[in-house]
Amino acid sequence: MKAFHTVGALLAAMALCCAAQASDAGASPAEATAMVKKGVAFIKANGRDKGYVEITSKTSQFKDRDLYLTVYGMDGTVRAHGANDRMVGKNLIDLKDVDGKAFVKERIDLATSKGTFWQDYKFTNPVSKKIEPKSMYCEKLEDAVVCGGIYK
Which fold is adopted by the domain 26-151?
A: Beta-Lactamase (3.30.450)
- Tell me whether strands 67-73 and 78-81 are parallel, antiparallel or unpaired: antiparallel
The 10s digit of each residue's pLDDT in 41-93 is 999 999 999 999 999 999 999 999 989 999 999 999 999 999 999 999 999 99
User: Closest Cα to residue 28, out of 118, 124, 150?
Assistant: 150
pTM of this structure: 0.82
